[in-house]
């Protein structure tokens, strides 16, 4: 009810929109506290029940599978559309956030002229991509980071560093020589991360990206 009142006031540009928003934020915080406590109690009940079953039994694995399905599913609350309506489907939410992130990522340079660079007499040394350096980078990859759009985990690249380094070295050299980057390396997974404030407001999310490990 509080959200509907705020959305209605926002759509009609009512003078008491600040009061409606404050009431909604208070209701949302109260709801989160109650929901957090309920989830905590439910988790404890499921954990106790799971511990009571013999490990490896049919009942144990049945409950384990149910827990994995319910607790590992990503969730995003309904998002507020520009017209005041709510977006419920995953496609609607993705389009809203994609549009917002794209608008915030544009640089408004206006009619500004490009900066003037001062003359430079120095010459940059030739860039060389060495197999030993590629091998060293692969062996020092952080395996705790999530994989990117290519779906290749860092643990695979690090474990197979010795076998992959010759091939990747040639690939990097070819990319540098032709001044072309593979399209797959330009793709990233964007994950919305909530900031402070209402999670129903798309403006309260910031994007985080995960790119390919290569």
Kindly write down the DSSP assignment for every residue of 188-210, as one continuous string: EEEEEEE-SS-TTSGGGEEEEEE
The rounded distance, in Å, linking the Cα atoms of 136 and 172 is: 15
Backbone angles phi, psi at 16, to 5 degrees: -95, 25
- Quick one: 69 and 130 in the same domain? no
Task: Please answer whether residues 129 and 138 qualify as being in contact, where contact means their C-beta atoms are separated by less than 8 angstroms.
Answer: no
Task: Indicate if 1 and 69 belong to the same structural domain.
Answer: yes
Which of 73, 89, 111 terminates a domain? The answer is 73
Does residue 205 contact residue 183 with C-beta atoms inside 8 Å?
no
Within 13 A of 28's CA, how many CA atoms are on the CB side?
17
Residue 12: the pLDDT is: 67
Range of the domain at 163: 126-214
Number of folded domains that form the chain: 2
State both tokens at 123: 């010459």
pTM of model > 0.95: no
Final residue of a structural domain among 33, 56, 73: 73
Predicted pLDDT of residue 24: 67
Q: Which alpha helices (H) appear in 106-209, and where do they start and end? A: 131-139, 154-159, 161-178
Answer with the residue of higher pLDDT: 41 or 10: 41
pLDDT of residue 67: 63
Tell me whether residue 142 is in a domain. yes
Domain assignment of residue 139, yes or no: yes
Q: How many CA within 13 A on the CB side of residue 177?
A: 8
Q: Taking the C-alpha atoms of 164, 169, 170 and 173 in order, what is their torsion angle to the nearest 10 degrees? A: 160
Residue 162 belongs to some domain of the structure: yes
Which tokens in the block code for residue 38? Answer: 């309920």
At 109 the pLDDT is: 61
Residue 99 lies in a domain: no
Element (H, E) at 87: strand 86-87
Q: What is the pLDDT of residue 4?
A: 64
* Percentage above 90 pLDDT, the chain: 14
Average pLDDT along the chain: 80
The span from the CA of 27 to the CA of 34, in Å, is 11
């Amino acid at each position: 009810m509080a959200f509907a009142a705020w959305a209605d006031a926002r759509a009609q540009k009512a003078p008491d929109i600040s009061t409606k928003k404050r009431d909604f934020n208070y209701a949302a915080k109260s709801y989160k506290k109650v929901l957090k406590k309920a989830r905590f109690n439910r988790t404890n009940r499921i954990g106790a029940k799971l511990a009571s079953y013999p490990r490896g039994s049919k009942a144990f694995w049945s409950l384990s599978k149910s827990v994995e399905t319910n607790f590992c599913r990503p969730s995003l609350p309904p998002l507020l559309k520009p017209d005041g309506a709510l977006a419920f489907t995953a496609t609607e939410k993705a389009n809203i956030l994609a549009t917002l992130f794209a608008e915030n990522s544009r640089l408004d340079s206006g009619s500004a002229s490009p900066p003037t660079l001062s003359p430079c007499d120095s010459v940059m040394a030739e860039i060389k991509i060495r197999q030993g350096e590629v091998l060293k980078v692969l062996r020092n990859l952080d395996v705790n980071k999530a994989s990117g759009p290519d779906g290749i985990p860092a643990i695979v690249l690090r474990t197979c560093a010795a076998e992959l380094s010759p091939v990747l070295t040639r690939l990097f050299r070819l990319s540098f020589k032709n001044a072309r980057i593979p399209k797959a390396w330009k793709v990233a997974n964007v994950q919305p991360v909530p900031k402070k404030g209402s999670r129903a407001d798309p403006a309260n999310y910031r994007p985080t990206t995960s790119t390919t490990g290569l």
